[in-house]
């Protein structure tokens, strides 16, 4: 299976940022219900993962990304980002009215602020990681019953209950309760590597493998390619999408 990688570079917040993205269908589904966007004009990266494998899944992911990208202002703030997510939420719910099935998606986005920092927007169980000085940290929280169960000790990580709870989302775009996102501000240090990805990546690749691929490939395009290639070699159990962002000083 050929893996197509898209690469862009930005100068933002006093930093040079090089990003690469790609997505693979895998072996479970006939179609890809993940959506990825790298904006060529500004530091804005988004991944979304549709819920299920039907028209509702496809409509939710595409609608959410298109509306969020459209409505994120040039100068971001938590309030402005929440407005953009709310608009995406309303449009996904509007699309659901014409579809007799589940219509929802997760979304993780990263966008520069006015300083040497960036905002991460999170709703659902796609993820954002940061590799800094050899330490890989998960920056986002999964909005799932599985996450709550592991946090509060309701069940063991490798139990059947935990596996089932992995698919029970507590927040997502299209949620009838108009669920809100988490918004996190992070600094952009030279040498940092960020990864935005859907669960088709993190459910199949180990923590150690993520560190290895992100830390040994200086080119984000190579890192993204190998990440996606590994998901296929692991079985391709889901659509898998990755955005790798490398931070360098502006020369």
Task: Report domain extents, the chain.
Answer: 5-138+172-249
Q: What is the pLDDT of residues 27-81, one digit of tens each?
A: 999 999 999 999 999 999 999 999 999 999 999 999 999 999 999 998 889 999 9
pLDDT greater than 70 at residue 241: yes
Report the 10 Å Cβ neighbour count for 74: 10
Residue 127 has pLDDT above 70, yes or no: yes
Q: Are 36 and 241 in contact (CB under 8 A)?
A: yes
At CB < 8 A and 24+ separation, what contacts does 163-166 make? 166/125, 166/203
Give the whole-number percent of the chain exceeding pLDDT 70.
99
CA–CA separation, 226 and 204 (whole Å): 13
pTM for the whole structure: 0.96
The domain made up of 5-138+172-249 has a fold known as Phosphatase 2c; domain 1 (3.60.40)
Residue 213, pLDDT score: 97
The CA-atom distances, in angstroms, between 71 and each of 27, 162, 163 are 34, 36, 35
């Amino acid at each position: 299976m050929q893996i197509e990688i898209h690469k862009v570079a930005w100068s933002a917040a006093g930093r040079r940022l090089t990003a690469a993205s790609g997505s693979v269908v895998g072996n479970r589904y006939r179609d890809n219900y993940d959506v990825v966007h790298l904006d060529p004009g500004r530091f804005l990266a988004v991944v979304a993962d549709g819920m299920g494998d039907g028209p509702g899944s496809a409509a939710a992911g595409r609608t959410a990304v298109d509306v969020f990208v459209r409505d994120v202002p040039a100068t971001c703030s938590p309030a402005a980002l929440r407005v953009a997510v709310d608009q995406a939420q309303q449009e996904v719910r509007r699309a659901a009215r014409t579809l007799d099935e589940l219509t929802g998606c997760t979304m993780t986005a990263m966008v520069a602020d006015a300083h040497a920092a960036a905002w991460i927007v999170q709703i659902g169980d796609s993820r954002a990681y940061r590799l800094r000085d050899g330490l890989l940290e998960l920056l986002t929280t999964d909005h799932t019953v599985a996450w709550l169960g592991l946090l509060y000790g309701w069940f063991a990580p490798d139990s059947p209950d935990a596996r089932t709870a992995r698919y029970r989302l507590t927040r997502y775009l299209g949620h009838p309760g108009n669920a809100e996102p988490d918004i996190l501000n992070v600094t952009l240090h030279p040498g940092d590597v960020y990864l935005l990805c859907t669960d088709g990546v993190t459910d199949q690749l180990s923590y150690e493998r993520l560190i290895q691929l992100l830390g040994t490939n200086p080119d984000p395009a190579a890192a993204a390619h190998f990440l996606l290639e590994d998901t296929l070699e692991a079985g391709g159990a889901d659509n898998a999408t990755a955005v790798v962002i490398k931070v360098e000083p502006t020369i």
